[in-house]
Amino acid sequence: MENRPEPAADGRTERGRQTRERIADALLALLDEGSTDFPADKVAARAGVSRRSVFHHFADMSQLVDTAITRRLEQLAEQIRPLPTAGPRAERVAALAEQRARILEWITPARLAVMRMDHPSPRIRQVIDEAFADGRRRMEAVLAAELDPLPEDRRRDLADGLDAVTTWGAWHHWRSTGLSAEQARHAMEATVLNLLASADPRPAPG
């Protein structure tokens, strides 16, 4: 049978997808600017579409907020770059803290929006759980030289502590208590170094 070329993608479907993304990105832009509510008219104006178009693509504003927040959380992967897993401890910890600080600051508006939701969607909860798990795996890879030689129970306890101070909860605490982003990054870096030092073998008494 003669091979026939695949039919061209439906242009209307592609335009619809692009419009949905533009509307979701408009809401995210408002969120990044500090908005806490998102009337359809305001989102439509920011996206350059009509109010009617917003409700053509989304059943209601709750669905739009859910879609936009999920989109922002899924964009996390684009912010992550490979980190050193070998070399001096101070350099590895500095690289980890720099990347975490940048990402956590960027994700804060969306994370706060999720906290204001009465019932985040299963998709949002799934993406958050996946981000936490991926973040822990990456942190453990960067600090494997310090973690892996430890007995299992000590390794787990140290990894739990390191995970706690390199995720959004600690970042939000530092930022909401008045630290600048740079001060919060320094606090994270110093805390990680102190936790690692606490697990270093102690020299035998002389």
* Rounded Cα gap, residues 38 and 168, in angstroms: 24
pTM over 0.85: no
Residue 127 · residue 74 · CB < 8 Å: yes
pLDDT of residue 165: 98
Return the biggest CA–CA distance within the chain: 86
Q: Tell me the CA distances in angstroms from 87 to 52, 67, 83, 94, 136, one per residue in order.
A: 56, 41, 11, 12, 20
| Number of CB atoms found within 10 A of residue 75's CB | 13
Per-residue pLDDT reduced to its tens digit, 95-109? 999 999 999 999 999
* Rounded Cα gap, residues 76 and 103, in angstroms: 8
Average of pLDDT values for 16-40? 88
Return the minimum-mean-pLDDT range out of 105-109, 184-188, 198-202.
198-202
pLDDT of residue 171: 97
pLDDT of residue 1: 44
- Higher pLDDT: 133 or 202? It is 133
pLDDT of residue 57: 93
Q: In this model, does residue 84 exceed pLDDT 90? A: yes
